[in-house]
Structure 1
Amino acid sequence: MTGPITTGTDLARLRELNSLSVVRALRGNPPSTVTELASRTGLSRPSVDLITQILVSEGWATVIEPTGSSVVGRPARRYQFNAAAGYVIGVDVGVHKILGLVADLDGTVVHTVRRQVAPDADPQVRLAALDRAIADCFTKTKLAPDDLWALTVGVTGPVDATGRTTLFTPLPGWSAVDPVAYLTARYPCPVYVENDCKLAAVAERWHGVAQDADDIVYVLAGMRTGAGLILDGTLRRGYGGAAGEIGALRAVRWLTAPSHLENCPGAPETISPDDKAAWVFTTARAGNADAQTAVRRYVRDLAVGAAALVLALDPQVVVLGGGFSRSADLILEPLHRELQRLCLRVPEIRASTLGDESVALGALRLSLDEADQRMLSTGLSALSAARRS
């Protein structure tokens, strides 16, 4: 009885899978020897030795030559993943700003660009600012178009499967924009558009305060209130992209919660709503009774929507993000008390430390996920051939 016939296609696929195993063993680790890589992958040392040579010749790995040593014998070569084999971009298209981040395939940010945009800017002005920001990313990092593996953009409002925000968005005229089509016509790489709160949730699990959690409710606390959900380690978008948009239900009171800060007695009429909220938090810290009452009422309303999400999803962590997270010292404790009153079980509540980069970082993470999927589905050999052509 004969065994199964192994074809050339089978062997090629096996070599590809082994190469990917070595790349995974290299990424995120210090420079490694062949012996270390063999132990990490379970492959034989001769196989790993051959694979690393091929990876170096194709530009996926670099060699760190041994230096002098007092130990008898020549120290072993070490190898590291060539993160500069490709780059990704994440962009936050916000109400007030365009923030872009460029990272290599290890996720190391190599360039940041920030451009201010007027809140009432029309789509053409906002898209022009986006174009300039991405152009700056290419210029400053000296990238060629083919060096870019993925581009992800975060926007305000529920994003459907086509990348459009047709339900609602505070960006003037943006519901008529097709950002995926617009950007795909300009850049030869996969383009994704996602909701800003969802991307902020991704960022918190990647580089933020929820790295130890798989079930996360991210609450955007600012002049706009929103939420992003991660369950079982997976970003939840919902059928139409509106998962987490609980603030659309008026009974939840998220739509009007910031008005407690805007209408605080004694607040100067000459400052903007954003600055007025900062004034209220600062004055509350100083002991002003009206400001403290305004903060308490704001937190009470914020807690209604947060409690609804906690009761529905039972997350491990609630992350407080957005501009008001800078005043977490005034919000976290009363928010916890409100949730104790409203919920069966209160998760840990943590304040974001990512500042206003959270959305762009989440966009970067989604771009990196696309790069990882591209390596897995296309294969290193095919990618190498494409780069040489």
Structure 2
Amino acid sequence: MPREAMVEPSGGSMGSRSLLRRMNSLGVLRALLPQPLTLRELADASGLSRTAIDAIVTDLVEMGWLESVERASASRVGRPATAFHVRAGLGHLLSLDIGANHIHAVVTDLAGAVLGQRTARLPEDTGATERISLALATGDAVLSTLDLTRGSVWIVAVGSPGAIGRDGEVLHFGGTGLPDWVGLNLRERFEQEFDGAVLVEGDVALGARAELTVGAAQGHRDVVYLLCGVRTSAASIVDGKVHRGVHGAAGIVGEMPELRWSRLNERYGESVLGSPRPSREEIFEAARAGDRIALTAMDEFADDLATGAAAMILALDPELLVVGGGSAPGADVFLPRFIHTLGEICPLPPDVVVSSLGSEAVAMGGVSLASQHLDTVLQTAVRDVERFPDPAGALRLVRRTAAS
């Protein structure tokens, strides 16, 4: 027997037929965001009747959410099947990873599919005003390659080092560089530039979110994520959600001097590497070639990284630890020692894996945050409005969240 709704109602009650229609409209839209589907495929996947699916898809097409596309048959016999997908160019998401030494911008469609990206480099002592200007210019550059403007962006996600308050203010940054960054309200600053919603989150939390949604932590509920780049920090995923803490400061365990995580990547192997210090990549390559000095430095790096990771593991008892950030490509030369040291400290160590997301992790976490926000806005509309919103109505609701 066909089911009635694709989306679970809040409060456990199905409510009116109008509510049921709105719930199923959201369910169909969710199903079609990642891929085109035919009416038959939608009916099979949803459990709804073909008649119900046909009516909902017709509504969404008339509202401007969906459009049809012909899909060739695998057998090449007969007419192509008609599939439906979210209308191309309907809206876009922009994710800006503002780091101490880089800006990385990613533009996606509403489904989170990457359309373009760009990276810019800058010194860590760049002032806040210039840093934000470069972030905006980098985002504009990506948009322009796609013939888009800021007006096409529904949601902007901004990732920043440090502890980020729920209102978007940078409450704390324990490293060097980033002058005038602490105390800056990033949400208010970027709301001056965009009409869409602006979301702000710490870079480590966004990296963990990316691992949870598209990376190595998929399918896991309790995870420790290490963002090991120019600076090293950690985030925790507890019961399937990234834990940010009261002040957005969960995971800054690396600021304890005893753990030697502060500027770890600039300091390991100081006693053997000499001056001028080789780059991180040069040390990795030398270690792969069996260079004794580089291997000694890698052992020191692995031990210090494991000591800080153990502090997180002993507090949380996760099932998985993900090593990410700029040092992840060199994991082949330090991971065995890291796992060994971790096992000596932790009686029940988790499985350890290396992220494959690379330097894009924080920006992709921003895309995930923006996608979830859009879905939350539509869920709220299902509950609170009499009719499922068309795209213009949804955009107004998204913009309203930016002002609230």
TM, length-normalised to structure 1: 0.88
Shift of 1:26: 2.4
Select which of 214, 230, 237 maps to 1:207.
214
Contact 2:163 2:248 in 1 (8 A): yes
1:97 to 102, 106, 112: 102
Give the deviation of 1:387 after TM superposition. Answer: 7.3
1:347-366 aligned at under 5 Å gives the runs 347-366=350-369
Q: Which amino acid aligns with 2:187?
A: V
User: Which stretch has the larger CA shift, 143-152 or 153-162?
Assistant: 143-152
Partner amino acid, structure 2, of 1:204: E
1:227 aligns with 2:234: yes
The answer to whether the aligner puts 1:86 opposite 2:86 as a matched pair is no
Q: Is the 8 A contact 2:96 2:104 kept in 1?
A: yes
Asked if 1:153 corresponds to 2:163, the answer is no
Deviation at 1:148, TM superposition (A): 1.8
Which deviations, in whole Å up to 9, do the C-alpha atoms of 1:213-253 show, x marking residues without a partner? 22221112233110021112111100111111111222223
Within the alignment, does 1:137 sit opposite 2:137 as a pair?
A: no
- How large is the Cα RMSD of the aligned pairs? 2.6
Indicate if the aligned counterparts of 2:37 and 2:83 stay in contact, CA closer than 8 A: yes
1:121 Cα deviation from its structure 2 partner? 0.6
- The letter of the residue matching 2:190 is L
Contact 2:159–2:363, Cα closer than 8 Å, also in 1: yes
* 70 and 103 in structure 1: CA distance in 2 versus 1, 3 angstrom threshold: closer
Aligned to 2:19: 13
Is 1:24 aligned to residue 30 of structure 2? yes
Query: Which among 53, 61, 65 is matched to residue 56 of structure 1?
Result: 61
| Residue 356 (structure 1) shift | 1.1
The range that moved more, 57-66 or 86-95, is 57-66
Could you tell me which of 179, 198, 202 is aligned with 1:191? 198
| Secondary structure, counterpart of 1:98 in structure 2 | strand
User: Does the aligned pair in 2 maintain the 1:204–1:210 contact within 8 Å?
Assistant: yes
Aligned equivalents of 1:326, 1:384: Cα separation in 2: 41
Is 1:307 aligned with 2:310?
yes
Whether 1:236 aligns to 2:243 is yes
Point out the more displaced range, 204-213 or 192-201: 204-213
User: How far is 1:293 from its partner?
Assistant: 1.9
Do the aligned residues in 2 keep the contact of 1:307 with 1:342 (CA within 8 Å)? yes
For 2:123, the equivalent position in structure 1 comes to 118
Q: Shift of residue 255 of structure 1?
A: 2.2
Give, in angstroms, the shift of residue 203 of structure 1.
1.2
Match of 2:376 in 1: 373
1:329 counterpart residue number:
332
Pair 51,311 (structure 1): closer, same or farther in 2 beyond 3 Å: same
Residues 119 and 70 (structure 1), Cα distance of their counterparts in 2 relative to 1, 3 Å cut = closer
Name the SS for the 2:356 alignment partner.
coil
Q: CA deviation at 1:145?
A: 4.4
Paired letter, 1:168:
F
**C-alpha separation in 2, matches of 1:231 and 1:323:** 24
User: Match of 2:262?
Assistant: 255
Aligned to 2:9: none
By how many angstroms is 1:72 displaced? 9.4
Secondary structure, in 3 states, of the residue corresponding to 2:172? Answer: coil
Q: Which moved more, 1:253-262 or 1:84-93?
A: 253-262
| 2:39 paired with 1:34 | yes
Tell me, yes or no, if the aligned pair for 2:269 and 2:296 is still in contact at 8 Å.
no
Write the distance in 2 (CA, Å) between the matches of 1:176 and 1:69: 58
Q: Separation in 2 of the partners of 1:71 and 1:322?
A: 46
Q: In the alignment, does 2:346 pair up with 1:343? A: yes
Alignment check: 8 A CA contact 2:102 2:120 kept: yes
TM-score after normalising by structure 2: 0.85
Structure 1 position 103, deviation (Å): 0.5
SS, match of residue 272 in structure 2: coil
> Residues of 1 paired with 2:119 and 2:66: CA distance?
32
State the alpha-carbon separation in 1 of the partners of residues 223 and 37 from structure 2.
34
Q: Which moved more, 1:275-284 or 1:201-210?
A: 275-284
SS at match of 1:192: strand
Partner Cα distance (2:79, 2:273) in 1: 75
Kept in 1: contact 2:73–2:81 (CA 8 A)? no
Of 371-380 and 308-317, more deviation after overlay is shown by: 371-380
Cα distance change of structure 1 residues 97 and 71 upon mapping to structure 2, 3 Å threshold: closer
Q: Say whether the 8 Å CA contact 1:91–1:364 is kept in structure 2.
A: no
C-alpha displacement at 1:197, in angstroms?
1.1
Looking at structure 2, the residues matched to 284 and 236 of structure 1 have their Cα atoms a distance apart, in angstroms, of 35
Structure 1 match to 2:8: none
| Cα separation, 1, equivalents of 2:219 and 2:110 | 23
Instruction: Percent identity, please.
Output: 33
Shift of 1:372: 1.4
For the pair shown, the structure with the greater C-alpha radius of gyration is: 1
Aligned to 2:5: none
Cα distance in 2 between the residues matched to 1:27 and 1:11? 24
> Alpha carbons of 1:148 and 1:256: their partners in 2 closer, same or farther (altered >3 Å)?
closer
SS state at 2:171 partner? coil
**Cα displacement (A) at 1:102:** 0.5
**CA distances 1:260-303 after superposition (whole Å, capped 9, x unpaired):** 5361424342x5xxx43333333233333332222212211111
Partner of residue 386, structure 1 = 393
